[in-house]
Amino acid sequence: MEKYKMEKYKMENTRFKLRAWHTKQQKMFYDVSLLGKYLIQYLVDPDGQIRVDVISDNTEDYILMQCTGLTDTHSQDIYENDVIRFHIDFGFGDCPVSAKVVFMNAGFQFESKAGCDYGVSNLGEIAGNMFETPHLYEDNEGEN
């Protein structure tokens, strides 16, 4: 069963893949890394050359989020604070659930507004994230 899950949900070596939310600019930066006190971003130019840009020498205004190493049903990387939509069968039919990705108990879990925690076997699709599209999580109180 575990082998099936790994093949179905394509787990990659993305242990240190990060993104960063700038709290003042309200902007998300992908493919970032910490290099000493510097927050850097890796970019690929149109000619295929890899470029490293220093975003900031002060990470105080950034919220760093780690990639879970998992992808959603559309092969998009799932990060902390993403909002995931999936369905659960509670025995009386399929129930839609929206949950945010959190790191707790030494692993990633999905946490719904109702306070329920779901394991990563409930993968669905990324609906958005808690910073750029917080309403996707806030608007689902009746779903859970």
- Render 59-116 in DSSP notation, one character per residue: GGGEEEEEEEEEE-TTSPEEETTEEEEEEEE-SSSEEEEEEEEEEETTEEEEEETTS-
* CB contact at 8 A, 107 and 57: no
Alpha-carbon span 108 to 13, nearest angstrom: 15
Question: Residue 143's pLDDT is what?
Answer: 47
Question: Residue 136's pLDDT is what?
Answer: 86
| Domain edges within the chain | 2-138
Alpha-carbon span 111 to 40, nearest angstrom: 30
Question: Residue 106's pLDDT is what?
Answer: 81
Residue type, 65: M
Identify the DSSP state of 63.
E
Alpha-carbon span 36 to 57, nearest angstrom: 9
Q: Report the chain (144 residues): mean pLDDT per 10 consecutive residues.
A: 39 70 96 92 90 92 92 92 84 79 85 68 83 81 46
Question: Residue 116's pLDDT is what?
Answer: 65
